[in-house]
Amino acid sequence: MSLDKDTVKTIAFLARVQVPDDQLDPLAGELSAILGWIAQLAEVDTSGVEPITSVAALAQHHRADEVTDGRRRDAVLANAPHALDDYYAVPKVVE
């Protein structure tokens, strides 16, 4: 695919990038080369290749989806400047 000067100018406008007029032709050539490379990648037969999410073989460890209180109430409340009946106590800020 070959891009012309006007198309590159439109792309630059949409991307909100200021490109001087003397740089439009070289940029058009570079963008055309990139699009050609992408077209070349699209021609590769990947029908026998399984999709991957990572190059390292990682397994996700799942835990049961159950509601808990975290079992760390005392540790959490230790961070509070003032605790009252298992809750954070804060000064009133609204009149």
What the block records as the tokens of 19 is 């490109």
Host domain of residue 18: 5-42
Q: Alpha-carbon dihedral of residues 80, 81, 86, 89, nearest 10 degrees? A: -120
Q: What is the pLDDT of residue 25?
A: 93
Residue 88 DSSP SS3: strand
Question: pLDDT tens digits, the chain, 95 residues: what are they?
Answer: 789 999 999 999 999 999 999 999 999 999 999 999 999 999 999 998 888 888 888 888 888 888 887 888 888 888 888 888 888 898 888 87
86 assigned to some structural domain? no
pLDDT at 74: 87
Domain annotation covers residue 22: yes
Two tokens, residue 42: 């699209």
pLDDT at 91: 86
pLDDT score of 70? 81
Burial class of 8 by CB neighbour count within 10 A (0 to 12, 13 to 18, 19+) = buried
Q: Total domain count for the chain?
A: 1
Residue 81 lies in a domain: no
Each residue of 77-90: b (16+ CB within 10 Å) or e?
eeeeeeeeeeeeee
Distances (CA, A) of 74 to 66, 68, 70, 87, 90: 21, 15, 10, 10, 17
Is 80 among the domain residues? no
Does the pTM surpass 0.85? The reply is no
Instruction: Say if 95 falls within a structural domain.
Output: no
